[in-house]
Chains A and B, each alone.
Chain A
Amino acid sequence: MNSVMNRKSVYTLTSSQKMMIFVLSMSLYGLSNMFTELIPSLQLGPIELSVEYFAFIPLTLCMLFHPFYAAIGAALGEVIFGELMLGQFGGLGEVEKFLTFSFAMYVAGRLVRNPQNRAQVGIAAITGVIIHQLCSTLVDIGKVWIGVEEFEAVPGLAESVVIVEGVSFLNDVLFSGILFALLPTLYLVPRLYGKIEPLLGIKPRKKDTQYEAAGIISPKLVLTGILLALLAFGAESLSETDWNIAEWDSGWADQAGNTAIWLSLGIAAVIAVIVLLLMRSRKTRQGNTDTGAGGGVPHA
């Protein structure tokens, strides 16, 4: 609370405000997930016009509030409402979805400096969708590339996965991305700005608002993003071992190479992320003690 008084421009939240953003984002996006699971898709030949997700909800919330809590909340909402309650929980593969989705939404939220600037909001919204879809498409195609020996056993399966992924990427960006991310976000963000924040007892963001010191410096943001993607990839390729047609025992020898590589990569990524987080928290602590001397150096 004191830091709000000390430095006006820093966007500091109490722990209950963080929890409010988290709960809000989780329940809204979770609810929308129920609908997107139920809306049937329209097939036009190979092109599938499906409502993949209502990305406008997390995008809007990430732009209006602290993007970190909104993004994590939305990703958890998807896991709880869209997966666990409906029995669609895929186990390890969900790790990848969770990470890529919250990462993409976080970046989109960070891109916006002024929520009333429509150009910024639009660019951030579509960028968020593209980052998310690109990550998941690359992960999926990468899995095929890893399991290519096994794939030759089934003719046409490898190509079909690439085609399915490519088409669904275009579909998600052009159809869902424009209709259910770009346009609704452009409609909602300026309308909700200044109205929804007071309901949670939070001041609306201003152009010069900086996030609190726990905010991320951009090279670090990029690095963390890459590491998270790697971790997600490792988790997914482990969970996709269902692709091997060979018996698990006999295929172990050549399988072990790949699995071990990805396992170690995944572990390395986890360790790297933990180290980064530790470094950041230490920096935050130092930053708090330094604020008296350091003055108004922007942290983000």
Chain B
Amino acid sequence: MELVRNWFSKFSLDRIQLELMNTAYGSGHASLSRLDPRGLLIWYLFFAIVPWFVNSLTVLAGMCLFMIVTTILSRVTPFIILVLCLGLIGQVGWLFIISLFFGGDISSALPLLKLTLKLSVVSLASITVFSGLDPEKISDGLLALGIPAAFSFSLSYGYRILPVLFEEFRNVLLSYRLRGKAPSRPGLLHWRIGVYYLKLLVYAFFPLMLATAKRSRTTVEALETRGFSYGLNHPDAKKLKLSHLRFQMRDVLFLTGSAAYLALLFWIG
């Protein structure tokens, strides 16, 4: 449990909240976010599916490089990159260790390297699009591509509400800690502390559920006053809502540039 303490000292809840705020609100200034969301979503769809069917190491590495560039362009917070790396290590590293245990050798690392490349291309593409873009833009793009309105709304709502919910959760947790009593002895490997925190985490959801219920009622009422369900059933309303989306020169340039780069990769690979 020493690990847990180091973890929490490095990534205080304050900092995570700040990063979340940044993801939710600070993405308007990135250079990629000026592109048309529909084009970017189609672009994403390509990079989410095609890497699974590619086996050439050169092509995959080239794609990965491209994704790294776009991720940097979309100005993603370091916190998300860290979570991504942890996820990759967790998914692939553990499999590698066990396959060594069953008599595999270093040669089983090559297919696993490919797997890592594929996973990172897919993940970085999704980071580029879904963390780098303005949530409302993604939502409008999804709506334009025919995703049900409840889903596309939930996406932008989720981005916006997460920092708020997070803060509320922290307040509840802090008040529980103030009123409660932490275990006097940490116990072997700090297990008492771990159990105490996990218990708090679960208890804190009781008031949070009630508060979120109120909040979701307010949300839906606000939606209804703006004619959300009317808009669901009337294509004209949807058209009006999406009329601001425009395919421009830079979208064409971005998409053709990506296509040209990929064609070059496949030609080499």
Contacts and interface: CB of A to CB of B under 8 A. Distances in A.
Interface residues of B, number: 76
A74 B202 CA distance: 17
Interface stretch (A114-122, A192-200, A279-287): A192-200
A23 B102 contact: no
Interface in A119-173: 153-157, 159-161, 163-164
Interface in A5-57: 15-16, 19-20, 22-24, 26-28, 30-32, 34-35, 37-38, 40, 51, 54, 56-57
Contact of B213 (A31, A85, A191, A196): A196
Query: What 6 pairs between A and B have smallest CB-CB spacing?
Result: A156-B102, A87-B127, A160-B98, A91-B48, A156-B104, A89-B126
A109 to B, nearest CB: 15
Interface in B193-227: 198, 201-202, 205-206, 208-210, 212-217, 219-221, 223-224
A186 to B, nearest CB: 11
Interface string A175-197: 00001100110011001100110
B242 interface: no
Interface stretch (A208-216, A218-226, A240-248, A269-277): A240-248
A241 B111 CA distance: 12
B146 to A, nearest CB: 16
A23 B95 contact: no
17 contacts: A27-B161, A31-B165, A38-B83, A60-B209, A77-B158, A84-B126, A84-B130, A85-B130, A87-B131, A92-B48, A155-B102, A156-B104, A183-B202, A184-B205, A196-B209, A196-B210, A242-B118
B55 A163 contact: no
Interface in B104-125: 104-105, 107-108, 111, 114-115, 118-119, 122-124
A86 interface: yes
The A contact surface, by secondary structure, is helix
Given A84-B130, A92-B49, A26 B154 contact: yes
Given A90-B122, A160-B95, A23 B220 contact: yes
A21 to B, nearest CB: 8
A104 B142 CA distance: 27
A95 B84 CA distance: 20
Interface of A: 15-16, 19-20, 22-24, 26-28, 30-32, 34-35, 37-38, 40, 51, 54, 56-57, 60-61, 73, 76-77, 80-81, 83-92, 153-157, 159-161, 163-164, 179-180, 183-184, 187-188, 191-192, 195-196, 199-201, 238-248
Contacts of A191: 206
Interface in B1-17: 3-4, 7, 11, 16
Given A87-B130, A200-B216, A248-B53, A159 B102 contact: yes
B256 interface: no
B150 interface: yes
A82 to B, nearest CB: 10
Nearest to B218: A20
A114 to B, nearest CB: 20
- Looking at A61, A80, A179, which has the most chain B CB atoms within 10 Å of its CB? A80
A181 to B, nearest CB: 11
A211 B221 CA distance: 24
B54 interface: yes
